[in-house]
Structure 1
Amino acid sequence: MCGRLALTTPPDAVRDFFDYSERPNFPPRYNIAPTQPIATVRYEYGARRFHLVRWGLIPNWVKDPSSFTLLINARSETAVEKPSFRSAMRHGRCLIPASGFYEWRRTSDGKQPFWIRPADGGVMAFAGLWETWSDPDGGDMDTGAILTIESNRMMSSIHHRMPVILKPDAFETWLDTSNVDTREAKKLFVSVEDDYLVATPISSRVNKVVNDDADIQTPVDLQEIEPSAKKSAAKVSKVDDSQLDLF
């Protein structure tokens, strides 16, 4: 599951990591939420291109988005077979830049948020899907979703799902929808190494979308709640992976 993310890495560093041609000058975002714009990188006209899309994929066959489920995540194990993601898996694979993401651990005291980022502090790439939805009046809107996978050992103590993280050597294979079919693309869906990410407990300020500042990533002390958190972790092996369960 991934219901909030951040992109605070300087634009030039993001551009160097993903090697796209545009030079977008975007501000740091500390608390990006569903339905807001997210950055994507896709292969277009023989090169990697930077695009903003609405977070929440709408398949092109949907007639009324207001009555359709908000698809912010897609399970990597079944995305090829699901009608909502099948076309995007074939034709709309993309990379989603992120400096980190947020996840909530269920405990007997409530839900404890964590800020999760690469151990080296750099930017990373989520495997994503995008699709253009056209309204009856002819307007087009690019939309996207983040692919998820079963958590690695580090993440499993917080949540049972995590984003699919791709390394630079997998970028070309994932983005090349013309020459790489879905069977080959699915081979990239592996959990990242246990030491690739670090998780820091933070305050519940992140729960509110209006809080979009660096302070939401400030660490908090879990000493008082850790005993009960450990107790509940043994009980909670499966939790609701609903697309709308953001916290």
Structure 2
Amino acid sequence: MCGRYTITLTLEELVIRFVMDRTSLPFYSPRYNVAPGQMIMAVIHDGENNRAGELKWGLIPSWTKPENERSGGTGIINARSESVAQKPSFKALLERKRCIIPADSFYEWKPLPDGKGKQPMRIQLHDGSLFAMAALYDTWLTPEGQKLSTATIITTEANELIMDIHSRMPVILRPEDEKAWLDRNERSPHKLLPLLRPYPAAQMKAYPVSQAVGNVRNDTPELLEEVPVHT
């Protein structure tokens, strides 16, 4: 799964990397421990340009009845790439409501050899640069009549680096595939599904970080620091 991530680079780096107008990002600030249920940045293509906006992390499909929406719940935080084209919650969104979630790392918890706990790991590209996680979004009408835009991050099987930590990982799109994923005119699952594959392990790295990552209230640069692992 993907349950925590970071986006810590500068606004200028974001604008350049995803070719966006900086005025569309008045809400941006570095985040060191993004968690489900929080508002997150997403990027879509409006037919002419890339555009950023804020969505709640945890998909609530538009057809969800108010009585079936759990108060305070986080929604669907992840969608499996293997079934995204079949499940009712995701099938229509794959065709017409795709977005990307910018990040520069994600966290995952590695079981300790003694079986007594887990070690949080920070996972990123070798050069620490920004990447794009494949996601789906939808807009739900609350009982109060307000529109709530929500998103889910797509996961795939782990690559050789991640499989020692967890069996799943977020789909990190290759830069050359981002345009196709955001293309509103592309609706064929046969062309979209091949994009949802594990990112090359050789281009990634992982290192242990503080257990403080486990508390969503912690959101400081110290969370990024490597810590020794006691065995």
Q: TM-score range by the shorter chain?
A: over 0.9
Contact kept in structure 1, 2:125 and 2:205, CA below 8 Å: yes
1:70 to 75, 80, 94: 75
Q: Which residue in the other structure is 1:110 paired with?
A: 117
Q: Separation in 2 of the partners of 1:143 and 1:37?
A: 9
**Cα deviation 1:88-128 (Å, max 9, x = unaligned):** 11111111100111000123120110011111011111001
Runs of 4 or more consecutive aligned structure 1 residues displaced over 4 Å after TM superposition: none
Pair 1:192-2:196 in alignment: no
Alignment of 1:1-247 (within 5 A): 1-23=1-23, 24-25=25-26, 26-64=28-66, 65-66=69-70, 70-107=75-112, 108-222=115-229, 224-225=230-231
TM-score, L = length of structure 1: 0.87
Q: Separation in 2 of the partners of 1:154 and 1:10?
A: 27
Q: Which residue in the other structure is 1:230 paired with?
A: none
Q: Separation in 1 of the partners of 2:200 and 2:156?
A: 13
Identity of aligned residues (%): 38
Contact kept in structure 1, 2:96 and 2:187, CA below 8 Å: no
Q: Separation in 1 of the partners of 2:119 and 2:145?
A: 43
Contact kept in structure 1, 2:7 and 2:32, CA below 8 Å: yes
- State the Cα RMSD in Å: 1.5
Count of aligned residue pairs for this structure pair: 224
Q: Separation in 2 of the partners of 1:167 and 1:153?
A: 17
| 1:216 Cα deviation from its structure 2 partner | 1.3
Amino acid at match of 1:113: P
Q: Which residue in the other structure is 1:229 paired with?
A: none
Q: Separation in 2 of the partners of 1:172 and 1:166?
A: 10
| 1:69 Cα deviation from its structure 2 partner | 7.0
Q: Which moved more, 1:150-159 or 1:129-138?
A: 129-138
Q: Separation in 1 of the partners of 2:92 and 2:19?
A: 26
Contact kept in structure 1, 2:12 and 2:22, CA below 8 Å: no
Contact kept in structure 1, 2:95 and 2:186, CA below 8 Å: no
Q: Separation in 1 of the partners of 2:12 and 2:227?
A: 31
Q: Separation in 2 of the partners of 1:43 and 1:181?
A: 17
| 1:169 Cα deviation from its structure 2 partner | 1.1
Q: Secondary structure at the match of 2:16?
A: helix
Q: Separation in 1 of the partners of 2:76 and 2:141?
A: 17
Q: Separation in 2 of the partners of 1:137 and 1:37?
A: 19
| 1:187 Cα deviation from its structure 2 partner | 1.1
Amino acid at match of 1:5: Y
| 1:22 Cα deviation from its structure 2 partner | 4.3
TM-score, L = length of structure 2: 0.92
